[in-house]
Amino acid sequence: MSKPTYYITTPIYYSSGNFHIGHCYTTVICDAIARFKRMDGYDVFYLTGTDEHGQKVQQKAESAGVTPKQFVDKLYDQIVRLWKVLNISYDKFIRTTDDYHEQTVQKIYQKLLDSDDIYKSHYEGWYCTPCESFWTESQLVDGKCPDCGREVKLQQEESYFFRLSKYQDRLIEFYRQNPDFISPKSRMNEMINNFIKPGLKDLCISRTTFDWGVKLPFDPKHVAYVWVDALGNYITALGYLQEDHSLFDKFWPADLHMVGKEIVRFHTIIWPALLMALGLPLPKKVYGHGWVLFDNDKMSKSKGNAVDPFFLADRYGADAVRYFLLREIPFGSDGVYSNEALLNRTNADLVNDLGNLVSRTTAMITQYFGGVIPRPNGYNKLDRELIDLCEGTLAQVRADMDALSAPDALTDIFKIVQRANKYIDETTPWTLNKNGDKERLATVMYVLAECIRFAATLLVPFVPTTAQKIFDKLGLPLPADFDAIKRFGGIGDGVTVTKGENLFDRIDIDKELKELDKIAAEKNVESQKNSPQVPQITIEDFAKVKLMTAKVIACERVAKSDKLLLLKLQTGDEVRQVVSGIAQYYTPEYMLGKTVVLVSNLKPVKIRGVESNGMILCAADGKNVVFVTPEQDIGSGKEVR
Ligand code: MSP
């Protein structure tokens, strides 16, 4: 009989570099689920990958002075290395720059055009470049992107639109018939109330202001909207619309799209509507997990608080990192990362509970039975309690994993570990030994070895390296599935244990936290050393710069440049023209009537053959550029000092 299939996906990651521990969350959870399902008899396909197109990548590559492909290649190498370090057992890694993916996205667009699900029009909306999302005025929060809180800019362009509005009723009906489609439940309400009820608008699904993307086959000056390109990965990776579509036939629809809560909207509205338009079955579940927070803020590199998973895995072991993420972050809601929490968790569960049980048991079997696990001699009531616990735990853990709750699954597995530790205290094997009660001692040792075997088998999906080490110590092969723990009593004759090194070394938490602070401080000094020294200037130096307010009375794009705007500025009675490199951040229409701050005594220069008399002040953070404006209207031509 063929095995049931299970198709699980992570989102494909933005190639933004410097991955932090929060990034590892989705992938580690999916890995635990995928490994669990494999051991539980499913034919699993676990997909992950990278999301490599879009304006953001193009801009970053430009600032780094490399091509977009060179830029994403470097980040691809980094993320593949990260998943290797963390032992991620994906079956396929897709890159949106893979040829087959790009070609299939083109076929998808063509199919949508042929079925009249796409039409050409104009788009005007507020665009958040970091999130690659368009927003309507009413969706903005304090005029900023509702997802990330950053600046948005008004953008207008010729675009193709997907008839999303046409699918509104079908989506509502689908949710009604599949109440578990969006999980946890709260996210379903969020989607319906915030997005569906106000009315779905057709979706702009092509861009013309940059070209790092999949070109539309019927209008190549347009590139595919990154989200359509990215969401498509879930089916292109399986061979949809390709010659070999056997994986697609076998695994689609997906059993689970695991995503962070901020991208549930794309996966539960846009993605199902696109699939409906393509005439394909919809995924069975989208789970929106919470965030790993850092000091109660979403961890993000741009906020300067990234925590390096390579460093943590190297210092404490990949399994300590995996265990922390799976056990400590309450599934479905947000959780907080701190070094202290990681170290406490490691010491309490991995060193004290698990490590102690394994080392005490292997040491006693070595001391009392020359290392060979003895045969049991009949079980008493106490033993039966442990046997029942072991035999009942798989069903319990399976229920936890069906509810996608790794913290609950680990809590249940650790009940065996904790119960077994208590059993050592209750049976006091050293007394049995002293009293010469070898028969009872043999049973106790056997029960303990079996408890370890049960716990370690169940731990394989979560902490695979540690589980392997435990099986090595027990002198048993790593089990490939859960069949081996259906019945207590699986350890046969003549199995020899080895005590060897500790599974995890106890961490002196105070000392280690100080050490981590020292390392962080050294890193800071290092990065300051590497940043160029800015020379100090005197007030007289500064006075040489004549700054004044100026009003934009006309504005247009500089011909053949996608970066430059030509601004006509009123400064008191005078009008002058300035060329500014802000075309990717502001439209001419938006700039009209705005007051800017002008460096008025710059020597005139020609930029792209156009004379520029001065420069306008802008603030930049490497992603966004925003112009500086007076806090209140003060008129044009006023001195700024
Ligand atoms: N490229 C899109 C997904 C396209 S899928 C068709 C994207 N990429 S991402 O790199 O920003 O995020 C990848 C995953 O990492 C998401 O599930 C996201 O929620 C997760 N995380 C990134 N930072 C996180 C935390 N601090 N905490 C938990 N998960 C977070 O979105």
Q: Is residue 192 very low, low, confident or very high in pLDDT (cuts 50, 70, 90)? A: confident
Question: Among 170-174, 560-564, 589-593, 612-616, whose mean pLDDT is lowest?
Answer: 560-564
Atom of ligand 1 nearest to the CA of 290: 28
Q: Are 19 and 82 in contact (CB under 8 A)?
A: yes
Q: Are 209 and 55 in contact (CB under 8 A)?
A: yes
Return the best residue to mutate from 8, 9, 10, 14 for the ligand 1 pocket (most ligand atoms within 8 A of CB).
Answer: 14
Ligand 1 center to residue 28 CA distance, Å? 12
Q: What are the strands of the beta sheet with 153-162, ordered from one edge?
A: 133-135, 118-128, 153-162, 203-204
Report which of 591, 617, 620 is spatially closest to residue 155, judged by C-alpha positions. 591
Q: Are 22 and 32 in contact (CB under 8 A)?
A: no
CA distance 416 to 457: 12
Helical residues (DSSP H) of 462-608, grouped into ranges: 464-474, 509-530, 539-543, 588-591
Q: Is 123 exposed, middle or buried (0-12, 13-18, 19+ CB in 10 A)?
A: buried
Pull the structure tokens for residue 271: 């993605």
Report which of 405, 401, 371, 398 is spatially closest to residue 485, judged by C-alpha positions. 398
Tens digits of residue pLDDT in 101-148: 999 999 999 999 999 999 999 888 888 887 777 788 888 888 888 877
Number of H helices, E strands in the chain: 23, 27
Report which of 361, 367, 94 is spatially closest to residue 229, judged by C-alpha positions. 94
What mean pLDDT comes out for the span 57-66? 88
CA distance 386 to 641: 78
Q: Is residue 521 very low, low, confident or very high in pLDDT (cuts 50, 70, 90)? A: confident
Ligand 1 center to residue 10 CA distance, Å? 9
Q: Tokens 């709750």 — which residue?
A: 405
Ligand 1 center to residue 11 CA distance, Å? 7
CA distance 442 to 440: 5
Atom of ligand 1 nearest to the CA of 14: 10
What mean pLDDT comes out for the span 595-619? 87
Ligand 1 center to residue 324 CA distance, Å? 18
Ligand 1-lining residues (CB < 6 angstroms)? 11-14, 22-23, 25-26, 51, 230-231, 259-260, 262-263, 291-292, 298-299
Q: Are 512 and 338 in contact (CB under 8 A)?
A: no
pLDDT of residue 603: 85
What mean pLDDT comes out for the span 602-609? 78
Return the best residue to mutate from 263, 307, 328 for the ligand 1 pocket (most ligand atoms within 8 A of CB).
Answer: 263
Following DSSP, what letter does each residue of 411-476 receive, concatenated? HHHHHHHHHHHHHHHHH-HHHHHHTT-HHHHHHHHHHHHHHHHHHHHHHTTTSHHHHHHHHHHHT-
Q: Tokens 């695991």 — which residue?
A: 258
Ligand 1 center to residue 617 CA distance, Å? 34
The closest residue, in CA terms, to atom 22 on ligand 1 is: 23
Strand 13-14 versus strand 5-9 pairing type: unpaired
CA distance 569 to 594: 10
SS3 helix, strand, coil % of the chain, rounded to 5? 45, 20, 35
Ligand 1 center to residue 211 CA distance, Å? 24
Ligand 1 center to residue 127 CA distance, Å? 19
Strand residue runs (E) in 335-428: 335-337
Please count the other Cβ atoms lying within 10 Å of the Cβ belonging to residue 600.
Answer: 22
pLDDT of residue 297: 53
Atom of ligand 1 nearest to the CA of 230: 6
Identify the bridge partners of residue 9 per DSSP, sorted by sequence position: 47, 257
CA distance 180 to 79: 32
The closest residue, in CA terms, to atom 28 on ligand 1 is: 291
Ligand 1 center to residue 13 CA distance, Å? 6
Tens digits of residue pLDDT in 611-631: 889 999 999 876 678 999 999
Please count the other Cβ atoms lying within 10 Å of the Cβ belonging to residue 531.
Answer: 7
Measured at the CA of 218, the angle between CA 215 and CA 221, to 5 degrees, comes to 45
Q: Tokens 């930029």 — which residue?
A: 607
Tens digits of residue pLDDT in 304-357: 344 889 999 999 999 999 999 999 999 888 998 989 999 999 999 999 999 999
Domains in the chain (CATH in brackets) are 342-533 (1.10.730.10), 539-640 (2.40.50.140)
Measured at the CA of 597, the angle between CA 592 and CA 598, to 5 degrees, comes to 100
Rounded to a whole number, what is the distance in angstroms from the first to the last CA of the chain? 80
Atom of ligand 1 nearest to the CA of 294: 26
Ligand 1 center to residue 260 CA distance, Å? 6
What mean pLDDT comes out for the span 59-71? 90
The closest residue, in CA terms, to atom 15 on ligand 1 is: 23
